[in-house]
Structure 1
Amino acid sequence: MMPAPIPMPKPKPPPKAISSPSSPSTPSNLALLRTLLHTSRDISLFEPPPRAVLLRSRICSAARKAALLALLFEELLREPQLADALPRSAVLCLREILVVLGRLRALMESCSSWMSRVRLALQLESAANDFHEVTHDLSTLLDIFPLSELELGDDVRDLVGLLRGQCRRSSASADPEDERLRSEILGVISDMEREIAPDYATLEGLFERLGLRDAGSCREEIERLEVEIRDRVYPKKTAAMVALLGLIRYGKCLLFGASTPRRYRTEEEGNAGSGAFEAAIPVDFRCPISLDLMKDPVIVTSGQTYDRESIGNWIASGHATCPKTGQVLSNSELVPNKALKNIISRWCHQHNVPFETADAQVPADPGSVSVNKAALEAARMTALFLVRELAASPSGDSANRIVHELRQLAKVNAVAALLNLSILSANKKRIMQAAGGLDGVVHVLRSGATWQAKENAAATLLSLSSYHVLYRKKVARDPRVAEGLVELVRSGPSSSKRDGLVTMLNLAGERDNIARLVEGGVVEAALEAAGVPDMAEIAVAVVAAVAKRGGAPAVAANEGAIGKLAGIMRLGTDQAKESAAAALVSVCRHGGGDAVAELATTSGIEWVIWNLMGSGSVRGRRKAASLGRICRRWAVSQEEDVGPASTLDSISVETTVPTAAIT
């Protein structure tokens, strides 16, 4: 049914000017009305793309409302006297309407362009409510708009009345057709959980209604879902999104063939029985300090894993060494060991052992266990389908495509399995000694098709190299490792960047590895990452570790490195300041006289060093004192050429830093 035609305003005599001493000036009113007209026309012309199958009626309804608003703004702009005479209450309403229109346009674009289709299905109720709230706010503003104070024709008043009525009829509930589609999607996921494969007709109808009509649209949907899962844009439903990703992959292969090899991320879950017996806690799941089950495992710079509470108390009590190895900790950075935490959680679930996570800020999805099973079943069904297709394929090209897709699917699952296996100490030796085991992980780090696969490979290398110094050297011996980590840090998403930096830091713990890390570009990548606030602490720790073990000349040779480290000493977190000071001490001692001169002549460096000496940690004050002495010696050597020594000469190390801290 075609919508009713929009009534157009009739010609009328020029309005009488309405004087208002509090009205804004004409140029301000005209600019506001022109912006409102442009925004409302922009919204009214918005055509939801074919991929926007959900909330389409809401988007079209919003466009029609904007068209009616545009007629009002056109009428107000038609007569300059009317714009000049707008009362203050009307101007305030118009400004608020502009804000509401901005929210409406952003919501329409988000639902039609940015979100994946299946994610929008999961967020259907909240998205429909967002449209309702924006419409309700517009209705409220139209109700208080002082229409009676303006000389407008009856037809314009009728338009505003029509718009008010449409806004009042808005509902917070999703449209029935959208709700049916959402229920059908969740129903297919539920069937897959029970190992019931959806038939061809069901998938064809579902994909048709989702607008997934060819392999290209499926690839686009998969890519959007991968990004949303990786960035945790909807953390409460991440497990459901993983299951839906598996469904889209399976449907793409079933309906459109293996035309495009893509990877699917699943977690390999063991098939241990679900008996209710009390199982002995594996030694690798116990904290080396408390010997209790780790609830929040974290990795320290020595590569060892402890429970956060236990190692936190150890460091807070003044210890600066690894409790298990005795190795001096280069910093107090605690990196969450998410892979081990997931394994412990699954083990506890399988053996009915209570497990409460420490990071409960994101409530768990009640259906995560069953949905993860659905994701695993989706991957299994995809693999079985491809194997059957391979057996029946007469064409060499077709067979090659299917084999390639199977290899990619198997490669991701294999890396995920290796990551899980590498957490256990008994398995690390087996993986390192297996023919091609390490090489396969490194290959995925360099050539993986998704950032998630590369991130898993980096985490596996971290786990393997943390076990023994010989493994650490063997991992770093392959030049592809440094190159892969550098790519991860420079181009990957946030979670991948952090995993790459932590692995760099672990490998930099061995002096024999430094030359390969420097040659692979680790110093440049870490210095670039140091400019990102969330990455600064771990990135500067990498630079400090490299500089301490022989890489100081490489750091000094990097253009801008001295200034960047000095800037972090000025504005970074306490941990970042401490690591930056440690890096600068190594660079000044082993990087040549030019590095010392550059630091000593850096603007404001005296204040930066003084501040760290007065407020830093024991290690930070010690490093700052060393920097102060280095700069004073340089100033004395330059005294004959440039005059009196720097004000650093007046810093009293003995009165600022405890004697024990500088011995």
Structure 2
Amino acid sequence: MVSDQAWRAVVWPDAADERAARSVRSILEQFKCGVSPDAEDVRRVLGRVGVRTWSDCSEEIAFLEDELRIRSSDEDDDGGSEAAVINSLIAFLVYCRVVLFDHIIDAKAAEQPNKAAAAGDLHAARPGAARCPIMLDLMTDPVTVSTGQTYDRASIARWLRAGCRTCPVTGERLRTSDLVPNAALRGIIDRLLRANGVSLPDHTAGSHRHGALGDTAVTLFGPAAAAGAARLAVAYVVAQLRTGSTAERRKATAEARKMSKHSAFYRAALVDANAVPWLLCLLSATDASVQDNAVAALLNLSKHPRGRAALFEAGGVGLVVDVINVGARAEARQNAAAVLFYLSSNAEQAEEIGRVPEAVPTLVQLVRDGAQRGRKNAMVSLYGLLQSPANHAKAVAAGAAATADPAADDDGGLAGDAVTLLARLAEQPTGALAVLARPGLVARVAEALATSSSRSGKDHCVALLVSLCRHGGDRVVALLGRMPGLMPALYALISDGNAQTCKRARALLNLIHRHYEMTNPSAAPASDPSERVVRVL
């Protein structure tokens, strides 16, 4: 009751607040024109709202992001204008944090390792629920996985295709690869977009996500003032990367890391401002925190198509590989491996990466010697590089087949990642023979197929066994025929698996039956009809 009456009361505006509001409006008008405001004017505004340090600025930005998320989820609020104002204030505060504060007070938080990865351990960003935790962009087709986390369908599908079997945010093992559409969140995002004059793409009509998303990100970012503030902040950061002192570069790389994680708009702005070559230069910095932040910023930028192009154009692949080899901290080495995953987005780029002599051997060494996160990132990146047939022989020569261990401790999904990598490696004859050279591996894979609770894990086990039979011949088929738990598992996959897995399981069963018939022509069928050999068509 008191709250209700308080809202009805007439409150005269505070004169100082009104002056601060006028100053903010004036500053936003300057941002629209691409003009940097007077620093003292900005400081007076910040002082009025109690923002006096870098950490205060960061906390206020987080508060406004939460407010934006709450308003976007309010079914009774169509407030597109409110969203635009909040976006402008966020951009204003980001500008203030970057330009006005020389030191990061909360240095521990700024240099903390990000808790997610790419392709095995991607960055778990803090932004609102409308952004995909993998790509950090607005979700246009949100789906929920078995852990309850929501991702954009395209991002999580690519994660699963790369062989990852854990939830990118929680690290929990995914019980199933099923993706359940999140209709409620899609409705919220749709309302937010419509309030800004944009519609979600129709995925049922085959719309391409990335084409629509660039425009959406800019529109959602807010009006010209927000875009102007962001570009000025990015320009300041790039200037510090280029000519700043060690301390200035330390802060600039930390800011580049945070901005590139914030949204697709900031990533595009950083690429346009030529940040990539300067970040690459700082990969060789003697200051470990500068190197960490530069690698993390490049990881975020590699999620943007133009960011990937800029990395290749600047000759950055070799520098990233060097960090995997000799990075000052494990975090830098792990993030550098994840950069290669994003860079190997197609066979042509994977082949280009493979031309760097140390690229494949370095990833294999990280699989062998790295910590869990590093090993996971390296295996997924190798999987991406093996899109190019030219890299198969290099991976075999480097010992990839002997390094990936399907019997690894599976808490982090390493065993599943290893099977996925071996399946890709065995697609070529040299890779299959290298896999078969490992004693007992075929039996372990067959056992994993019979006991795994993961559908995608079963898919990759079947793919690996089919390739081994194709390139290894009758001795592999005979070995599989002697494994008692394999046949029931294959029949179960025929009735329960996806189309591709059904086809592979059917082919594998027919190979085993044909081998049995040819090597035992006089063997009488079992008297029990349920035990007779049935050719699967």
Return the TM-score normalized by structure 1: 0.41
Return the TM-score normalized by structure 2: 0.49
Larger radius of gyration between Structure 1 and Structure 2: 1
Structure showing greater relative contact order (alpha-carbon pairs closer than 8 Å, 6 or more residues apart): 2
